[in-house]
Amino acid sequence: MKYIDTYRHKKILVLGLAMSGVGAASLLHKLGAFVTVNDRKPLSENPEAQGLLEQGITVICGDHPIELLDEGFELIVKNPGIPYHNPMIVGAMDRDIPIITEVELAYQISEAPIVGITGTNGKTTTTTLVYEILKEDAKSPYIAGNIGKVACEVAQVVNKDSTIVMELSSFQLMGIKEFQPKIAILTNLYDAHLDYHGTRKEYAHAKANITKNQTKSDYFIVNAEQQEVMDIAETSNAQIIPFSTKRVLESGAFVKDGWIYFDDEKIMETKELSLPGAHNLENILSAIAAAKLCLVRNKSIYQVLTSFAGVKHRLQFVSEYNGRKFYNDSKATNILATENALAAFNQPTILLAGGLDRGNDFDSLIPALKNVKAIITFGQTAPKIEAAALEAGIKNQIRVDNVEKAVPAAYELSEPGDVILLSPACASWDQYKTFEVRGDIFIDAVHKLK
């Protein structure tokens, strides 16, 4: 850890807790700042805030009093989930108080280089693949950011021989100033989080921040099949490393005659990959590019990519029972993710879908339902998904109360050789606290069949 003097004796407000706020407050306190934490949850219900209070950090809980901003703060470290139209953030910007997120702190103190990964879809799988490949090659990686531990906590324990593999959301990237990953990856861009960003342009601009501070000694790995991504690459000062699943490239990661190449080097055959789906091939190509830039041996890449079972809740193979294969894709909280999941299978599929109603219809899902023989629905969107399925010619439909009941219902409709896929195309919050809870219930229900 670099012990920097940047924040010594500075008055800093940490706005919003959760794990990132706790990590940021503790680090800034260690660096000699005068830290105040403000969180909406009451102190009596807030063990994180109580722990910070015990460290000698000032804690204000229960609401966000706007007058707090008049106490002379020189910096705000914002929880990524707090939108910029929040009155406290608007008030801070009106007062010209700089605002960052904790990944900026992580960069400033880290002795290790950072591989930063962002994108609409695939960033969790790509981050995990890069981490697993580096670990297999004994490169001493750490995983952090949107998955794993809080970035500024990991940055305190790494050294120059380590690597931090960091998943980064658009929310986190909006709050960077100097953040400069040695390797950055932009997997793809689709409509997402527009309620937070307002427009697709602002969302793309937030994602583009991952490369804004890179120089010609850094690398930016990009999806060559998306013009919007390549337009961002045009603005970067880094060395551009493209990847493509659709055509042979002059350099970068691509597929040719059933083989994965990096530049002019054969890496492995696509038929040996353990992860299904064209979208996962994109993730794999970007992960291979990062691994090769980190001087990883092909043997280590091969070992991971022939055995990797997937990220939990992201097209995760759960079990095979009486000839049926069960997959947990609970992290598919939007239609595009479910389209990608369905495209990964050629077998007859029974789809389990439904969840929070955000006002959209599901007509765009219809072309992806070609291999779906039956559908089990649940949650607020059940009627809308059923209507789309009927339009696709799927008459075999059952509506159930929840995911737990969906599993045996799907099994009763299935035959040997079928895939039973939980890929809800919706957020979980109408019935479950998180998509992880929803996925765990699915897994438990599958094992209860046995």
Using DSSP's 3-state secondary structure scheme, residue 211 falls into: helix
Q: Residues 223, 259: one domain?
A: yes
For residue 411, the enclosing domain spans 316-449
Distances (CA, A) of 342 to 26, 276, 369, 370: 44, 10, 7, 9
Computed over every residue of the chain, the mean pLDDT equals 95
Domain count, the chain: 3
The last residue of a domain, from among 47, 67, 100: 100
**Side chain identity at residue 129, one-letter code:** L
CA atoms within 13 A on the CB side of 118: 26
pLDDT in tens, 284-331: 999 999 999 999 999 999 999 999 978 889 889 899 999 999 999 999
Q: Residues 273, 348: one domain?
A: no
How far out from the chain centre does Cα 147 lie? Answer: 7
Asked if 172 and 101 touch (Cβ cutoff 8 Å), the reply is yes
State the CATH number of the domain containing residue 380: 3.90.190.20
Q: Residues 286, 336: one domain?
A: no
pLDDT in tens, 170-202: 999 999 999 999 999 999 998 766 677 778 889
Q: Residues 166, 261: one domain?
A: yes
How far out from the chain centre does Cα 83 lie? Answer: 18
Higher pLDDT, 277 or 219: 219
CA distance 263 to 266: 8
The last residue of a domain, from among 100, 128, 148: 100
Q: Does residue 221 sit within a domain?
A: yes
Q: Residues 130, 234: one domain?
A: yes
CA atoms within 13 A on the CB side of 185: 35
**Side chain identity at residue 283, one-letter code:** N
pLDDT in tens, 148-174: 899 999 999 999 999 999 999 999 999
Q: Residues 120, 262: one domain?
A: yes
The last residue of a domain, from among 305, 337, 362: 305
Report H helices in 324-434.
335-343, 382-391, 403-413
